[in-house]
Structure 1
């Protein structure tokens, strides 16, 4: 589904650069997802060799499928919307770092363990889209998005840290001069996370950022960095186990810790009995 959304965005935007801007991702990440989609299909879906990316015959059929699927998806949600919140699980959409490593434990063994849930971990843009369409009763994102109808409420914060292999011999520090020489491992949503860390810790973005690898999921990033092949900037909660096992280390400036605000996304016209309980638990767990 994520690859199809990226494919449709590229078709409508006409180029990797334009699509990357719409999706809030790097061109490298968009190109990677298109490549994975074509690998899954076993065929190319674009005419290549010109400045503008246009779908070929297979791509045109796939684009028509995506548009029809969107219509069917919206129709299905319209039918399910009135089924009654009391009878349905709490549908949640959350950005991966916060959702997997801070939110899910609250439902797995924490104070919300009695609540049935359906949880997804898309990018921030899709979290908002899920709440807007009714696919989720509540969403959690790490940046404010202007929206005419949806409400964004700050509910807590997550710490963001620079990470490297624990046994790395490289002399790495939280200083611009040192980081200019480092090779970074990026992931979906890393543009925003990196920019937040650079701004809060260094006071400005790096003039040059060298990227060695890109992955979709944070687990892949952590495993790669643990081998000593690059560094990254991630939510601190996601690397606790790796740090305890001695595979990774977090580098911090004690006088300038980086904290990113977490926002709950809600549609005031749609709710679920467990939403308020969930918000209370998140506020208590992810305190500012």
Structure 2
């Protein structure tokens, strides 16, 4: 059984807040994102842990035991965190990055890769906010998927990701990679999708397509992938995001062999802000990508 820590944190917040809406506000996520994580937690456990009670979401018997575990773990973690901080007051590396690259390419380097010893604070805003965070000093390092001209910041290429059109196996079997078929399809969009969609259409079809039929819109890629896997629409995402869905046979990446879409990832740097771990992070990103 593999349960992600963030799902346990979401479960605890929902129990303490009493509703998806209240929890979403505390977690700064959409209600759909919170609901998705709860569903994934229950799938991993193989049992429900929440029930409705008097209009509130409350833990059932199994959920009560899980909540006690989460609360105890939280107290242990806070104690450990304070002890570590007192022994070695290391300043965390503050990173702002677009979601697809950050969650699926960058985070593993810090979780269980060559940067696992570096404490971090990572956030996943839009590309525009990444630039603002680095410019203001709210973050030490940023990653975006497009080059912007900025007088006070530098944009350094460090990686390149493949962007793919994805669909459920059933939808993929009926979909042709040509303008007429794709113009009539239903799309699941997300906060960065305008740029990503335009890049794919331009590189693969040689033209951009606007006024697409959007059947759903989400902030996070997790919900996009979930809807595509359910056959509720198609989308265009970084290939690394859908590897697990593809491995489980829930989604298919549709590619034209001679027209694959590649997009450069840029590190956003402010020359007036310094952190000892920045250069090491950039080097690890380049080595992983062989860039």
Partner of 1:109: 112
Give me the whole-angstrom Cα distance separating, in 2, the residues matched to 1:286 and 1:119: 20
Question: Are 2:244 and 1:236 aligned?
Answer: no
Question: Are 2:156 and 1:153 aligned?
Answer: yes
Where do residues 52-131 of structure 1 align in structure 2 (5 Å cutoff)?
87-131=90-134
Give me the whole-angstrom Cα distance separating, in 2, the residues matched to 1:140 and 1:207: 26
Q: Counterpart of 1:270 in 2: which secondary structure?
A: coil
User: Deviations 1:92-122 (Å, cap 9, x if unpaired)?
Assistant: 0100000000000011111111111110000
Give me the whole-angstrom Cα distance separating, in 2, the residues matched to 1:287 and 1:121: 24
Gaps of 5+ in 2: 1-20, 26-88
Q: Counterpart of 1:280 in 2: which secondary structure?
A: helix
Give me the whole-angstrom Cα distance separating, in 1, the residues matched to 2:211 and 2:98: 27
- Of 200-209 and 108-117, deviating more is 200-209
Question: Are 2:191 and 1:188 aligned?
Answer: yes
Give me the whole-angstrom Cα distance separating, in 2, the residues matched to 1:270 and 1:276: 12
Give me the whole-angstrom Cα distance separating, in 1, the residues matched to 2:211 and 2:135: 37
1:162 to 1:280, Cα distance in 2 relative to 1, 3 A: same
User: Deviations 1:111-136 (Å, cap 9, x if unpaired)?
Assistant: 11111111000000110111111111
User: Deviations 1:132-187 (Å, cap 9, x if unpaired)?
Assistant: 11111100000111111011111111110000012336511221121012111100
Q: How many residues align?
A: 208
Give me the whole-angstrom Cα distance separating, in 2, the residues matched to 1:111 and 1:257: 30
C-alpha displacement at 1:194, in angstroms?
0.3
Q: Counterpart of 1:233 in 2: which secondary structure?
A: strand
Gaps of 5+ in 1: 1-35, 41-85
Partner of 1:15: none
Query: Are 1:151 and 1:265, in contact at CA under 8 Å, matched by a contact in 2?
Result: yes
Equivalent position to 2:177, from 169, 174, 190: 174
Q: Counterpart of 1:146 in 2: which secondary structure?
A: coil
C-alpha displacement at 1:281, in angstroms?
0.8
Give me the whole-angstrom Cα distance separating, in 1, the residues matched to 2:149 and 2:258: 32
Query: Are 2:154 and 2:270, in contact at CA under 8 Å, matched by a contact in 1?
Result: yes
C-alpha displacement at 1:209, in angstroms?
1.4
1:254 to 1:170, Cα distance in 2 relative to 1, 3 A: closer
Give me the whole-angstrom Cα distance separating, in 2, the residues matched to 1:218 and 1:149: 31
Q: Counterpart of 1:101 in 2: which secondary structure?
A: helix
Root-mean-square deviation over aligned CA pairs: 2.0
TM-score scaled by structure 1?
0.69
Q: Counterpart of 1:110 in 2: which secondary structure?
A: coil
